[in-house]
Structure 1
Amino acid sequence: MARLLAFIVLLIPALMAGAGIKFLRDTLFGKLISPFPWFWLQFVVGIVFLILGLGFFAGYLLNKDRKNGRIAPKYQKGPK
């Protein structure tokens, strides 16, 4: 059950990042999607979704690697 919950928690940011890429692609090709009245708004929402989705994954991986001791000393938490 815990693995399924972890999968769902990681699936949401992946879908968000995918939607961000789709919004950016549609803006690049000049296709306006219905909830957005302007291209610039669609582009900004796409950038935000992409950054939040990838940022969540990056933070998750950094935290997991810190627990397992597989990162460089400069990225370790605490005093140096």
Structure 2
Amino acid sequence: MRTLTARFIAVLILVIPGIIAMIGFLFMKDALFKYLYMHGDDSLTHISFDWLSFTEGLVMFLAGISFLGGWIFFRDRKRGYIGPRFQETKNKNQSTEHIV
């Protein structure tokens, strides 16, 4: 039962950033489509872009995607699935001399 609960919590930790990224994408899409829709309405004289909604969506999207991307990257690094360019390197130039 304990492993089932742990796996459920792990899935939630991955699903929540995915939902945040999805909501951010929808905010950006809605801001862009609203702007394009207003261009087709001849009765409007002043057309403005909703920068606040778009920026909020961009931040949410980038935060969610970066969390998921980082999780996948560090999981693959731990399992050895990544190329040698991204593997951890140990500093070979460390001196073993002690300061007297």
Same fold, TM-score > 0.5, yes or no: yes
SS in 2 for 1:70: coil
SS in 1 for 2:34: coil
1:36-55 matches, within 5 Å, as: 39-55=50-66
Give the alignment's Cα RMSD to 1 decimal: 1.6
**Which runs of 5 or more structure 2 residues have no equivalent in the other structure?**
36-48, 92-100
The answer for the alignment partner of 2:96 in structure 1 is none
Question: Number of residue pairs matched?
Answer: 74
The answer for the alignment partner of 1:60 in structure 2 is 71
What's the TM-score once normalised by structure 2's chain length? Answer: 0.69
What is the aligned counterpart of 1:4 among 4, 8, 13?
Answer: 8
The answer for the alignment partner of 2:19 in structure 1 is 15
Amino acid at match of 2:10: A
Q: Distance in 2 between matches of 1:18 and 1:54?
A: 9
Structure with greater helix share of residues: 1
From the CA coordinates, give the structure whose radius of gyration is larger. Answer: 2
**Which runs of 5 or more structure 1 residues have no equivalent in the other structure?**
32-37
The answer for the alignment partner of 2:87 in structure 1 is 76
Identity %: 36
What's the TM-score once normalised by structure 1's chain length? Answer: 0.85
Q: Distance in 1 between matches of 2:7 and 2:89?
A: 29
Q: Which runs of 4+ in 1 moved over 4 A?
A: none
1:34-75 CA-to-partner distances (Å, cap 9, x unmatched) read xxxx71010101110111100001100011101111100111
The answer for the alignment partner of 2:30 in structure 1 is 26
